[in-house]
Amino acid sequence: MFTYDLAIIGAGWAGFNAALKGRDLGFKTCLIDSGPIGGTCLNRGCIPTKSLISCAKVFSLAKKASDFGVRLDNPGMDFSVIQQRKSRIIARLAQGMRGRLSGIDFFNSPATLHAPHEIRIAKDLIKSRFILLATGSRPFSLPGFEFDGKKIISSDDILESAEAPSSLLIIGGGVIGCEFAGLFSALGSKVTLAEKMPLLLPAEDRDISRKIEAVFGKRGIKVITGADLSGIKREEYDKILVCAGRVPNLEGLSLPEAGLKLENGRLSSDENLNVGLEGVYAAGDCVSRIMLAHYAAYQGVRAVENMFSGKAKNTDAPAVPACIFTDPQIGSVGMKEKEALDAGLKIKVYKSDFRANAMSHILDETEGFVKIIARDDGRIIGASIVGPQASELIAVLTAAVSFESTVSKLRSVIFAHPTLSESLHEALGSD
């Protein structure tokens, strides 16, 4: 039997950062996972997809190199090398994560919640003052399109493909579906993207959704919105990739036996992230409806602070940025225009097009715009960007929303020239 102050089930971004926090606070900590360290983000999500997307971006740039005066004869693409590069990146980052676990015990084993304060791993029992459940999520299997790993595949499956499919149907026009649509279209696949809602990316600002659909159309991606899946002719596609969302990983934890109940397949928690059992907390995709790695890390740290302080700290971050690595990229934070109007707020919308930005022309990436939402008193409450490096630019507006900055304050900031960040200043203009 092992005894700890803090035992964490799940070594993804929530569990990993929680473990570091527990150790740094001086508590004896262990981390448990049946799979490799890093969870979904490192092994089947953020890192591998962005690695592939970066390769596709280089390939796209190579094909238009002559526009920059660079002669490249007939650029080609070797998908096996792309996959090897992805694996090397994952391995390097995993090694770095393992190195940071100094002073934390890592058990590479399945785990069950035996009782409050008790976890069963293999033939051993772990007793812990506090337990954090950070088990992450997995791709949702759509009824009628169950994964077979061959024809009908998940986002996990496609990341291990030996080659880019010649023709690809993607079911689901959310974040994951749109990222894969852009990626494989750039690599030469004939892509069809089917979304049941009237717009792609239904959680984003409507102007963003319309823009990305228009860009996809220019790139040869066939977009079907309001899609009726019953009419799909499966034989027309080499692969069918189902991106219909994700569900929490909670099977096998013996939650009912331990006294934990689920709501709609998900753990529920109080403001401390306690899940209804003494000493048991949760963080990340298994408890949150915001399934983002950076938010999972935030929750993991907050949960540990709440455990040992006994005082709740705000676990609803004031501003959580969301990034979509399509080409062009998308970044958003805070309220969308429709949300603000539906809430009855008096707002002013500020907008600028990247065609007005010098660096966009230098990079030959002029598609997109910046959109900033402010209340009538000038406070910035939200922003959306579609365009070059939107995932980086949104950080400035995340800070603005977090600290309740006003339009006049942000307008007074000097942005370097020529840079993409000037587009934020250009959006605000002058009243």
Which residues are CB-contacts of 6 (< 8 A; sequence separation ≥ 6)?
Answer: 18, 19, 22, 27, 28, 29, 30, 128, 129, 130, 131, 132, 304, 307
**Residue whose tokens read 């391995």:** 91
- In whole angstroms, what is the distance from residue 230 CA to residue 79 CA? 32
- In whole angstroms, what is the distance from residue 335 CA to residue 211 CA? 19
Contact between 306 and 21 (Cβ < 8 Å): no
CA distances (Å), origin 383, targets 152, 290, 388: 36, 18, 15
CA distances (Å), origin 366, targets 304, 357, 361, 363, 389: 44, 8, 6, 8, 11
- For residue 303, give the H/E element and its range: helix 293-309
Contact between 370 and 383 (Cβ < 8 Å): yes
Which residues are CB-contacts of 54 (< 8 A; sequence separation ≥ 6)?
Answer: none
β-partners of residue 145 are: 142
DSSP structure string for 182-220: HHHHHTT-EEEEEESSSSSSTTS-HHHHHHHHHHHHHTT
- For residue 96, give the H/E element and its range: helix 79-99
**Residue whose tokens read 């690695």:** 51
327 closest CA partner among 169, 155, 181: 181
Q: Which of the residues are catalytic?
A: 417
